[in-house]
Every structure is written in structure tokens, then in C-alpha cells.
Structure 1
């Protein structure tokens, strides 16, 4: 008998699904763990000869110990980063690449005029615990910290 289980990773962190032997509780060698990426869902098939361990990967489980320089390099490589010392669940930083576009809405419309080409410079944004995206600037404490780590996409 096969059961389909829909696993939703809705809280900003990936979910690890491990298939276990129901008699021993050990992970099955022939069924590698699956990861449901943050803010997605996946159907996992479970046979009668296995149990499922569904575990949300918390920020404190993400490897830490990076410096701010390491975190900045990771941002430039397209990764997401966060500090272990941040209290808000789901908070992380990401790099917004530079771009060029034409002004077509406020506030740029009244400042630069419609159709004016805008050079949008690359910068770092933060996804807050409340789900907002805001510009971010490093504090002295952030720049000197060594508890930076990668955040799963």
C-alpha cells in the first residue's frame, strides 16, 4: 500500500523528509532524504514498510561561523545569509542586482519624469520576520560578527 503525503514548507525554512524503517526507526539506505524547499510543497510517497520523519530545518541548524566578509561574498554569489543572533524567524538578506528601467510610476514619475531611464544600483535587502522586504545596512555589530550563515533558498 502507498500513501501520498503533501509536505508544505510554508514558514520560510526548508523541510527535510526522511524515510524510516518502522521497526528500528533508522533511516532507510535505499530511500535518501528529500528536502522540500522553503515556500514550496511536494508530494512524498510513503509505502507501508516505512515511516516518515518530517522536520523543519531551523535557522540554528544551518551551519554558522562565517564572517561578514564571507557573508558578503555569498550574497554576491546569489546566496541568502542571516545571523544566528537574529531573533526573527525567516529573516535573511539577499542581493538585489542593479538594473535599468524607465520611470513609469510614483515616486520616480514626479521626480524624474515619465520615461526617464533610471540606473538602479545593486544593494542588499532584508526579508523581515513579518514578511516585508526592506533595504538593509550593516551595523558595526553585524560587520564584526562571526555568526553569519547561509540560508536555504
Structure 2
């Protein structure tokens, strides 16, 4: 599957992966963010020079589960965009 085919499915809430990725168990999801805002915790407040409890608005973003079990915000590389080995993760 091409990236332009898988992206709408990710937006619908599906998990997607590339067979060309080296790590096992990796996949990408859409995080809905907090469009209405969420109260800042101390870590976020310190990072953004805000007060703990301030309203923090977060737009939707892509998140990846790495092979070591950690998670991170994710932006596709040129290789990911032009790859044709995308698949939907079946439950």
C-alpha cells in the first residue's frame, strides 16, 4: 500500500506499519491531541515556560511505537512517503 492510501486509514484510527522497517512491533497511529485544551502538568509547564495547570492546546499528530516499546511523535521521512510497503495492523 502507498502512503497516500494508508494515511486516510490512519486518520480513521487504524494502526499502520511498513514492512521495510527494521524494528519489530513498530506502528504509527493518529493521536487526537487536545483541541479543547488540557491542564499542563509540571513537565509541560516547565518545558513551555507556562504555569502548572495552564490550558495547553495540542493539535492532532502522528505517534510511533518504537521497537523498544517507547512512543514518540512521528513525522514521515521521504522514504516513508514514497514507500509502497505500508500495511494496516490487524488486531
Normalised to the residue count of structure 2, the TM-score between the two structures is 0.88
Q: Which residue of the partner structure matches residue 97 of structure 1? A: 32
Deviation track 1:89-120 (CA, whole Å, cap 9, x = no partner) reads 101001110212011221x2231112211101
CA–CA distance in structure 2, aligned partners of residues 115 and 140 of structure 1 = 38
Would you say how many aligned residue pairs link Structure 1 and Structure 2?
A: 87
RMSD (Å) for aligned C-alpha atoms = 1.1
**Which sections of structure 2, spanning at least 5 residues, go unmatched?**
none
Residue 64 of structure 2 is aligned to residue 121 of structure 1 = no
Deviation track 1:100-145 (CA, whole Å, cap 9, x = no partner) reads 2011221x22311122111011100110111000111111111011
Normalised to the residue count of structure 1, the TM-score between the two structures is 0.54
Higher relative contact order (CA 8 A, sep 6+): 2
**Which sections of structure 1, spanning at least 5 residues, go unmatched?**
1-65
Quick check: which one's strand share is greater?
1
Quick check: which one's helix share is greater?
2
* Greater Cα radius of gyration, structure 1 or 2: 1
